[in-house]
Amino acid sequence: MDWVPAISRWIHFMAGVMWIGLLYYFNFVNVAAAKAAAADGTGAGISKHVVPRALFWFRWGAVVTWLAGASLLSRHFLDAFLFLNKAYYPIGIGAWLGTIMLFNVWVLIWPNQKKILGMVQATDEEKNKARRVGFLASRTNTMLSIPMLYFMAAGGHSALFFG
Amino acid sequence: MKNPLDSLWGTVICGLILTLILHNVIAHALGG
């Protein structure tokens, strides 16, 4: 057994489920739940107790997923990211989509969520802008996750997907 | 025009369309 790629693949899957599972929780469940809760005045518990915990595992799940994926590619990292080898074209697309999504998590979603949750100072106008930017970044990641997972599945199974 | 990302199903449909486009690009690049 080749331990490093085997363990990297296992961790990549577990952390990926954590990351994308929470992304889908935010988009498929929490957006509608928070709206309904705000309407009947019960939203405070969600934003105080649920969202900060979910965001913690979400953003660090994203980092671990990316690092385990990079470890999995190891010496073929540039083959995938620079499309140097045809065998790595599908996983290259998946890797680029995952990288864009990681960027969105740390540069757009998390800094804006900190404003929304009151973890950093922000005016009401800044909070409203943060809500919109964070929401669209989260929806963009949901959209990108669909081809990203397709190309992750296709990586190593080119004959099945592109034969 | 409304932003399709404002709707959950608009987001999913955009993701499926993007998948189809990228699939065709890669299939073409691989000579399939």
Residues of B in contact with A143 (CB under 8 A): 5, 11-12, 14-15, 18
Report pLDDT digits (tens) over B2-26. Answer: 999 999 999 999 999 999 999 999 9
C-beta separation of A138 from A26 below 8 A: yes
How far is A62 from A47, CA to CA, in rounded Å?
21
pTM assigned to the model:
0.95
Q: How would residue B1 be classed by pLDDT, with cut points 50, 70 and 90?
A: confident
C-beta separation of A93 from B22 below 8 A: yes
| DSSP states along chain B | ---GGGSHHHHHHHHHHHHHHHHHHHHHHTT-
Residues of B in contact with A150 (CB under 8 A): 19, 22-23
- Is A162's CB within 8 Å of B14's CB? no
Question: Residue ranges per domain, chain A?
Answer: 3-162
DSSP state of A30: I
- Is B11's CB within 8 Å of A143's CB? yes
C-alpha distance from A91 to closest chain B C-alpha (Å): 10
Low-confidence ranges of chain A (pLDDT < 50): none
| Partner-chain residue, chosen from B5, B27, B30, that has the shortest CB–CB distance to A143 | B5
The phi-psi region of residue A83 (left if phi > 0; otherwise alpha if psi is between -120 and 50; otherwise beta) is: left
pLDDT at residue A56, as a whole number: 98
pLDDT at residue B32, as a whole number: 58
ipTM field: 0.96
Q: Is A117 helix (H, G, I), strand (E, B) or coil?
A: coil
